[in-house]
Structure 1
Amino acid sequence: MVRKITAFFLAATLFVSCSTNTITGRSQLKLLPESELQSMAVQQYQQFLSENKVVSASADRDAEMVRRVGQRLSTAVEKYFASKGLQNQLEGYKWEYNLVNNKEANAWCMPGGKIVVYTGLLPYTRNEAALAIVLGHEITHAVFQHGNERMSQQMLQQGLGSALSVALSNKPSTTQNIFLQAFGVGSSLGILKFSRADESEADHYGLIWTALAGYNPQEAIPFWQRMASQSNSARPPEFLSDHPSDSRRINDIKKWMPEAMKYYKPMGK
């Protein structure tokens, strides 16, 4: 009987906590208030920056480029959401963009627009448009609250419930680790951290943000080809993985490209 009651309340919680992404129409499990995740992001972001070597944007061209690309993308995202009457979904966003000295090929965006790019990514991006592809992808994870989905699932699996403050109080280290994993902090782009649906949405709408920011979204294809070629370890078959295969990702990007190109107006034109 206890198990039945527990299962009932768990099912009820999951039902109540499911919401629909107003842009994609996909149902999402989100147990955690976005405002609480943004508050936690501010703390974790500052801690990360204090523990890593941040490259000065005023003294380094690459760091200035990261900031420039980030600003153009965030402006494009805000305009897109406003055009749909959804500007309230970006409430609390205070964008920050930093380059850190780290050899891994990685970038991520926490709730509230807290962005980091690792220097190890730049040999693969090679130009501003490809960097915009990556940041557009990561920004989509944040604004579509994919990390909330991942964190909600992990907290349920760990038996931490759905109250972030309680989880932080009872198991602060575990909760912080779940948060960092949910948003890809410390993992290279080759490490699988989001579901196939999340990754596809990030690829799809990342192209749109890139185009709206004035960067050519077609740079996505050679960039992901470079990322695929740098992977030395064999990947599992797609049906065993949460991540789209390299070939499927590139084929999907080609499929979405005509839509993205409708938004593309080169800078200065």
Structure 2
Amino acid sequence: MKSKALLLSLAAVFLLQTGCSTVPVTGRSQLLMVSEQQEIRMGLTSFREILEREKLNTDPLINDRVQRIGRRIAAATGRTDYQWEFKVIENDKTVNAFCLPGGKVAVYTGLLPVAQDDAGLAAVIAHEVAHAIARHGGERLSQEMVVAGLTVATVMATSDSSRRDLYAGLLGAGAAVGFLLPYSRLHESEADRMGLIYMAKAGYDPRAALALWQRMAAQAKGKSKLPEWLSTHPADETRIRQIERWLPEALSHYHPSKN
């Protein structure tokens, strides 16, 4: 009885601390146990730390291009309250970009050849920006807090001390595969869908996103990859199929830019 009462008490605490929010564009309800201001503070701290240890690109043409595209994407989100920043990190081996809470964006130079043109680069930036707008970082942190709390509750409720580590390990592995990883893949798909709409609203043809991810898939072809159910990202085939399905929605927001 004590064990059940403990579990119920901890569950009640989590429920009381939980805030419900709705993701823009998709309308999905999400679990949030941290405030947006907390997220933004953590994002700014992480951004400063990254920029301190990375080499920044100083090419004015590349920086102007990233900032021009980034500002258009940022305007399309409607989040004028964010202190947007756009940096270029000099690293030709890293094909990536990121956006931290509060609008702190960085693009690695290794991404530029794969992006090819402004629309391709807009697709990546819009995807990363969508993660911040959807507050995926805060949601992931909240989920990890819940898993940690349930793990502690399970361990405390186990009378056999010799089995506590086993139960904690099994619960942690099960939560990762059955809860955290599926949500991570959901976040990626959600950012794809939102990104398509943001780039379209910014005046970039969202069909360029499909071409971009097809190039990404071709680049990764032949490399060993985890099965989708063990990965943080959808499989390339899944991602391309989803983008094809969402393109009509994005195209309804698309008006070619004259700039």
2:43 partner letter: A
Contact 1:35 / 1:92 at 8 angstroms: preserved in 2?
A: no
CA distance in 1, matches of 2:243, 2:194: 10
Offset at residue 68 of structure 1 (A): 0.7
Contact 1:14 / 1:29 at 8 angstroms: preserved in 2?
A: no
TM-score by length of 2: 0.79
Match of 1:45 in 2: 47
Shift in alpha-carbon separation, 1:13–1:197, aligned structure 2, 3 A: farther
Offset at residue 157 of structure 1 (A): 4.1
Deviation readout 1:11-33 (Å, 9 max, x if unpaired): 22443415141532322121111
Offset at residue 116 of structure 1 (A): 0.6
2:210 partner letter: I
Q: What is the root-mean-square deviation of aligned Cα atoms in Å?
A: 2.5
Q: Which moved more, 1:134-143 or 1:145-154?
A: 145-154
Q: Does 1:210 align with 2:199?
A: yes
Match of 1:65 in 2: 65
Shift in alpha-carbon separation, 1:11–1:65, aligned structure 2, 3 A: same
Shift in alpha-carbon separation, 1:138–1:33, aligned structure 2, 3 A: same
Match of 1:152 in 2: 142
Q: Matches of residues 58-97 of structure 1 in structure 2 within 5 Å?
A: 59-78=59-78, 90=79, 92-97=81-86
Match of 2:163 in 1: none
**Paired-residue identity, %:** 42
User: Which structure 1 residue ranges, 4+ long, deviate > 6 Å from structure 2?
Assistant: none
CA distance in 2, matches of 1:13, 1:128: 48
Q: Matches of residues 26-37 of structure 1 in structure 2 within 5 Å?
A: 26-37=28-39
Q: 2:225 aligns to what SS in structure 1?
A: coil
Q: Between the two structures, name the one with larger relative contact order (CA 8 Å, sep ≥ 6).
A: 2
Aligned to 1:108, which of 94, 98, 116? Answer: 98
Higher-Rg structure is: 2
Match of 1:227 in 2: 216
Contact 2:63 / 2:88 at 8 angstroms: preserved in 1?
A: yes
Q: 2:88 aligns to what SS in structure 1?
A: strand
Offset at residue 238 of structure 1 (A): 2.9
Q: 1:230 aligns to what SS in structure 2?
A: helix
Segments of 5+ residues of structure 1 without an aligned counterpart are: 79-89, 162-191
Contact 2:95 / 2:108 at 8 angstroms: preserved in 1?
A: yes
TM-score by length of 1: 0.76
CA distance in 2, matches of 1:157, 1:240: 18
Q: Does 1:259 align with 2:239?
A: no
CA distance in 2, matches of 1:220, 1:126: 11
Segments of 5+ residues of structure 2 without an aligned counterpart are: 152-180
Contact 2:87 / 2:107 at 8 angstroms: preserved in 1?
A: yes
Offset at residue 91 of structure 1 (A): 7.5
CA distance in 2, matches of 1:91, 1:217: 23
Give the number of the structure whose residues are more often helix, by fraction: 2
CA distance in 2, matches of 1:194, 1:52: 30
CA distance in 2, matches of 1:67, 1:2: 58
Match of 2:164 in 1: none
2:213 partner letter: W
Match of 1:21 in 2: 22
